């Protein structure tokens, strides 16, 4: 499966940049990866163009919450259904516009807490890595 990360802006904090780079490198053992960092100006328009023909997961505070094993099951189910590409979207400081939310196949909330962009991108990449390891019985995840 191909995993796309589309974000408004890129991480500014060194630890978040480094962590995101590390987890995307690890994810590449399981999936093809694409990372697109958009500038805030025109980001909605560019996201809408990118959303065409893809399974789109938009991070939003009102979205569904997953446990790690549930996320793993979700990814596995999508692969079984023939979904070959999933795109995850992280918005800017004000979240996503209604146009983006309405085009989502799934709204996903990382937590009931609100996170700054840098932390959200790091958490997203770790969650995808963890779910991927669960699906191949890798010992990274422990219960």
State the pTM of this model.
0.95
Q: What percent of the chain has pLDDT over 70?
A: 100
Compute the CA torsion angle 19, 133, 123, 3 (nearest 10 deg). Answer: 90
Q: What is the pLDDT of residues 36-53, one digit of tens each?
A: 999 988 899 999 999 988
What CATH code is assigned to 2-135?
3.40.1280.10
How far apart, in whole angstroms, are the C-alpha atoms of residue 40 and residue 76?
32
Q: What is the mean pLDDT of residues 11-31?
A: 96
* Cβ(27)–Cβ(122) below 8 Å: no
For the chain, give every domain's residue range.
2-135
- Strand order from edge to edge, sheet including 85-90: 32-38, 2-8, 85-90, 55-64, 106-108
């Amino acid at each position: 499966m191909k995993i796309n990360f589309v974000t408004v802006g890129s991480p500014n904090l060194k630890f978040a940049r480094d962590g995101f780079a590390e987890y995307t490198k690890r994810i590449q053992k399981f999936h093809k990866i694409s990372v697109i960092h958009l500038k805030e100006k025109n980001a909605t328009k560019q996201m809408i163009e990118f959303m065409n023909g893809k399974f789109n997961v938009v991070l939003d505070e009102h979205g569904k919450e997953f446990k790690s094993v549930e996320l793993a099951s979700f990814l596995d189910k999508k692969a079984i259904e023939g979904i070959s590409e999933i795109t995850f979207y992280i918005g800017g400081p004000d979240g996503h516009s209604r146009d983006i939310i309405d085009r989502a196949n799934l709204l996903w909330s990382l937590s009931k807490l609100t996170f700054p962009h840098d932390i959200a991108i790091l958490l997203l990449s770790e969650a995808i890595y963890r779910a991927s390891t669960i699906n191949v019985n890798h010992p990274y995840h422990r219960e």
